[in-house]
Structure 1
């Protein structure tokens, strides 16, 4: 099924830019949100995705839907899209949501593509592309962090994206491959130090960042893991909040406290670090892709790094599905997407303008 008309749900920090970029790429776009947005250059319908009847009605006539909603709202949208026969895309890092979407994709004539953001999403595309052509894979290390450029306080953080998603990945167990075996490890474990362009960061395990990579590389690699990047001291402070203050089972309250303490900042930076080791034509080799992305101007407006990197990755995948460069139906894994192909799309090309960091 061709993609011409796209419904974008959730017009927050990322969704608004997703709609804008898709419109610029030639698609007919309409937004959906709980609040009116007359300030935007595309039509916006006000409705509640939690109302199944309203959702079904508002998806009628579209070829695809991109959900930029909090992770716990995606499943209802995915189920409605599957029934209506719409291509489906989202940014979720939630493993149970993705598992259910995979079930919906079985036998489907449309694409079901969750996990189209940064991690999971872009980092998996980069990692699997680095692994292309290597044999006897030894290690794949994937690291991503969205941080304030000028950190303050013990947390050194600002909530530039969904607090529900952040708390979710801090609490749920994380899938990894160790010594050739898939297994689960606790979130916020295995702290290590990473230095990018002179910035000293800490990395620790968080859930969902690998998407389906552990399944894909099961039996093919010795070690595979994903870790979130933060400024030093962040992990211990969050552990204190969740465990010592007993907020682990009160996720909504934990998110409310953190956003109130660390609201979004405009001057942010997104770090992406990917490294793969394996046998190449000249023996054992290590390939790396390291970037530090900052806010950029798009169509006369400055966009935070977390917003444009997430939106560009998601829109690039939509464009590849539309042009037939990836499988046109069923469940789409991010590792099925070539990084070079992503860079060739109008929105994916935004990543070309950024230079590598030493």
Structure 2
């Protein structure tokens, strides 16, 4: 794998492309719009809704990374499957991933969705903590991408895709509870969490577990994923989506929220993963708790959500190139060894 196309040159896509270029890949970045700054890799303008044009471009590549909104990924995955090349994305959308799993059954390349932060890195960490126990009774995974200096009652800024946020706030969430696989509503199961003395609330959101319920059903009695926000956020979002019925107007909901709470540069990504179980018959708890902040990556200061998301998928791609992961079929994030991930040039960012 040498040649890779990166689709979508927003903050995350551009950084992912720069990191791949820095790692020695031949990168072509593709976007509908012209980029506003010079980049160290080839850039092309292309209508990404045109299946024929995209197929012609991907025929010359070894792999494709989609950094586009989730609703575009099925078509891209189908084109990659037909071309016999590797496919990577950042999606949290469950139906999209189910379709990619179907494609992977006859794929010549690797089909690897959900390679971002959550799902993605958080699942790699969760699997690692589960593996430290002889028997695991629970694994709780929480991630929050937040402004460091929140304002207003919502305490939030839309540094991530509004389509993705709305999707995970509305769609049902898969969990394992008391050994049973269940679907529960989003923005429920509210709890308090403290990280570095900062009080946060956590609540269920869709897609963060990836395929972990498939992997651990019958092995771990309780698994769930929650998003972390500042206190009071869930109440306001439940009012917005359910009492005001904005769940029926998703596109408009995203526009309203981004207009009210635009992105900030000073953000923080909190990761809190905990597993409980036994080692040699004694009850133990294992934790991975981090607060990731903006830092300089590829010569520029990057937001925490940009480098944690882009860095995760680039580290996975580096592992595939190095033969540390399969080159064909479907890749589950929980099958990625955390220690190997952290040894990659890009995965090393997460060791701080």
Check if 1:51 corresponds to 2:54. Answer: no
2:22 to 20, 24, 33: 24
Contact 1:142 1:274 in 2 (8 A): yes
The separation in 2 between residues aligned to 1:351 and 1:207, in whole angstroms, is: 24
SS at match of 1:221: coil
- Residue 282 of structure 1 and its aligned partner are, at CA, apart by 6.0
Corresponding residue for 2:166? 167
- Residue 296 of structure 1 and its aligned partner are, at CA, apart by 0.2
Please identify, of 265-274 and 282-291, the stretch whose mean Cα deviation from structure 2 is larger.
282-291
Aligned residues: 351
SS at match of 1:248: helix
Question: RMSD of the TM alignment (CA)?
Answer: 0.9
- Residue 109 of structure 1 and its aligned partner are, at CA, apart by 2.0
Residues 30-58 of structure 1, C-alpha deviations (whole Å, 9 max, x = no match):
10001122522211110112111111011
The separation in 2 between residues aligned to 1:351 and 1:4, in whole angstroms, is: 25
What's the TM-score, normalizing by structure 2? 0.98
The separation in 2 between residues aligned to 1:103 and 1:223, in whole angstroms, is: 27
SS at match of 1:159: coil
- Residue 283 of structure 1 and its aligned partner are, at CA, apart by 1.6
Contact 1:13 1:161 in 2 (8 A): no
Corresponding residue for 1:134? 133
The separation in 2 between residues aligned to 1:282 and 1:265, in whole angstroms, is: 47
Check if 1:279 corresponds to 2:278. Answer: yes
The separation in 2 between residues aligned to 1:327 and 1:283, in whole angstroms, is: 35
Unaligned runs of 5+ in 1: none
Unaligned runs of 5+ in 2: none
Runs of at least 4 residues off by over 2 Å: none
- Residue 158 of structure 1 and its aligned partner are, at CA, apart by 0.4
Residues 30-88 of structure 1, C-alpha deviations (whole Å, 9 max, x = no match):
10001122522211110112111111011121100000001111111101000001100
Please identify, of 274-283 and 233-242, the stretch whose mean Cα deviation from structure 2 is larger.
274-283
- Residue 159 of structure 1 and its aligned partner are, at CA, apart by 0.4
Contact 1:163 1:259 in 2 (8 A): yes
- Residue 93 of structure 1 and its aligned partner are, at CA, apart by 0.1
Corresponding residue for 1:9? 7
Residues 84-110 of structure 1, C-alpha deviations (whole Å, 9 max, x = no match):
011000000000000000000003221
